[in-house]
Amino acid sequence: MATLLVKNIGILQTPVGSHSHKGAEQGENLKLRNAAVLIEDGLISEITSDGKLPEGGEKADTIIDAEGKLVTPGLVDGHTHMVFGGYRQHEIPMKLKGATYLDILRAGGGILDTVRKTREASFDELYDKTEEFLDEMMGFGVTTCEAKSGYGLDFDTEMKMLKVINKLNEDHPMDVVATFMGAHATPDEYKGREDEYIDMLCNEMLPYVKEHGLAEFADIFTEDSVFNYEQSRKYLQKAKDLGFLLKIHADEIEAIGGSVLAGEIGAMSAEHLISINEEGLASMAKGGTTAMCLPATSFYLGANFAPARRMVELGIPVAAASDFNPGSCPSLNLQFVMNLACIKYRLLPEEVLTAVTINPACAINRGDKVGTLEVGKQGDLVVWDAPDMEMLCYRFCSNMALQVIKKGNLV
């Protein structure tokens, strides 16, 4: 049995429980001083505080002295598009000359540009590139993440992307949860025939993905000029009937009913929510849908920030994720997301920690395994080069993760 002890922890800070935290509970973290954590065979077996050590801890195979620093659960990035061909740095001058995100997409660029490059890329090229992203994410303290397809928009490429995600989930220390997002945009070959494209996804791709266990979640981009409310409802209802868990890119630019639909249909999370209105907020609160807020995307698009503070007050569980993708957020740094969640969303450090641990863990169906430091959960944690959470919310653009431990192994 492999054992690892982390001792001399100044503050061990963690949300508690395996459920999503909303309202006042969003800001409730357990804080243990002078703590230690023992991990046996990948799972937390004992947590102590006030200078006591777990029984037999000094005999652990590996002992890490945290030297009085902060320890939190490993971070969970609940929303990424990390598998893609090429990059889109050429959009920078277009944007500076005034083109908006949707202007570029309508002109056949944006997502569709990445689709062309992802179709051209081989499985191995995508695998190697994504593996490097996973290494970089782990270096920033992320130990579990979600990854979407959606840059194929044809059968072969969508399946290639999902196979890359599933293979990396097996091969890489990161836990990677797969989401099918064939409804990310309408490909050129279906231009003007959006309804037919949705029907094809419902009749061909969703059943195949389900049958072969290639993704746990289905997601759609509900947006002006992309997919409307009716198309989104049809696709998500079919996915739900097949047994998928649901996500929805909603109200990123225009509120066309995406967040309303999320609450109505029982989506686990709705993403972006920059332009959410009162109806959407009420629907999400009623449906218990987690708000997957993406502040680095707001930053990069020069857009408004989702009303996350208000969502907490309304009892909507708030998560914050990177949205790492080649267009609207070419950064995978979840620590920067934490800074933005504090400064732009006005979330307190405790609320921020909940937003990057247990709430996204629940929104990707892993709340029973990760997202908190408790006996029986996976031994995923970060020793930070910081004495407290305030320091993590305050310093930005430095990597503050000192040691990252995944299932009891130092990575």
Minimum CB separation of residue 325 from ligand NIG in Å reads: 4
Q: Is 327 in the site for ligand NIG (CB under 6 A)?
A: yes
Minimum CB separation of residue 178 from ligand NIG in Å reads: 16
Q: Give dist(CA 217, CA 146) in Å, integer.
A: 10
Compute how many other C-beta atoms are within 10 angstroms of the C-beta atom of residue 283.
Answer: 20
Choose among Fe ion, ligand NIG, none what residue 251 binds, the Cβ cut-off being 5 to 8 Å by kind.
none
**Strand 269-272 relative to strand 290-293, pairing:** parallel
Task: Name the segment binding ligand NIG (CB under 6 A); options: 27-35, 308-316, 323-331, 360-368.
Answer: 323-331
Minimum CB separation of residue 323 from Fe ion in Å reads: 5
Q: Is 378 in the site for ligand NIG (CB under 6 A)?
A: no
Nearest to 114 by CA among 82, 146, 140, 145: 82
Given candidates 326, 349, 360, 371, which one binds ligand NIG under the rule CB under 6 A?
326
Q: Is 323 in the site for ligand NIG (CB under 6 A)?
A: yes
The footprint of ligand NIG on residues 242-281 (CB under 6 A) is 249, 252
60 neighbors 3 (Cβ within 8 angstroms): yes
The contact set with Fe ion (CB under 5 A) reads 323
Given candidates 72, 114, 335, 357, which one binds ligand NIG under the rule CB under 6 A?
114
Q: Which residues contact 404 (CB under 8 A, 6 or more apart)?
A: 74, 138, 139, 141, 143, 382, 383, 410, 411
Residues in contact with ligand NIG, shown as a per-residue x/- string from 94 to 113 under the rule CB under 6 A: ----------------xx--
Residue nearest to ligand NIG (CB): 327
Residues in contact with ligand NIG, shown as a per-residue x/- string from 188 to 227 under the rule CB under 6 A: ---------------------------------x------
The CA-atom distances, in angstroms, between 21 and each of 359, 368, 379 are: 6, 13, 21
Nearest to 259 by CA among 267, 269, 268, 250: 250
Q: Which residues contact 209 (CB under 8 A, 6 or more apart)?
A: 158, 159, 162, 180, 215, 218
Size of the site for ligand NIG (CB under 6 A): 13
Nearest to 142 by CA among 305, 317, 376, 364: 364
Cα-based torsion angle of the residue sequence 396, 397, 403, 405 in order, rounded to the nearest 10 degrees: 90
Q: Is 146 in the site for ligand NIG (CB under 6 A)?
A: no
Minimum CB separation of residue 249 from Fe ion in Å reads: 6
Choose among Fe ion, ligand NIG, none what residue 327 binds, the Cβ cut-off being 5 to 8 Å by kind.
ligand NIG
Looking at beta carbons only, is 325 or 335 nearer to ligand NIG?
A: 325
Minimum CB separation of residue 365 from ligand NIG in Å reads: 20
Task: Name the segment binding ligand NIG (CB under 6 A); options: 57-65, 128-136, 324-332, 358-366.
Answer: 324-332
Query: Does residue 93 come out as left (phi exceeding 0), alpha (psi in the -120 to 50 range) or beta?
Result: alpha
Choose among ligand NIG, Fe ion, none what residue 328 binds, the Cβ cut-off being 5 to 8 Å by kind.
ligand NIG
Beta sheet of 75-77, edge-to-edge order: 75-77, 142-148, 175-183, 217-222, 245-250, 269-272, 290-293, 318-320
**Strand 401-406 relative to strand 381-384, pairing:** antiparallel
Q: Is 297 in the site for ligand NIG (CB under 6 A)?
A: yes
Given candidates 289, 328, 354, 378, which one binds ligand NIG under the rule CB under 6 A?
328
Looking at beta carbons only, is 252 or 350 nearer to Fe ion?
A: 252
Minimum CB separation of residue 111 from ligand NIG in Å reads: 4
Element (H, E) at 94: helix 91-96
**Positive or negative CA dihedral for 213, 198, 262, 309?**
positive
Query: Does residue 342 come out as left (phi exceeding 0), alpha (psi in the -120 to 50 range) or beta?
Result: alpha
Minimum CB separation of residue 251 from Fe ion in Å reads: 13
Say how far residue 304 (Cα) sits from the centre of its chain.
Answer: 20
Minimum CB separation of residue 30 from Fe ion in Å reads: 31
Interface residues with ligand NIG (CB under 6 A) are 81, 110-111, 114, 221, 249, 252, 297, 323, 325-328
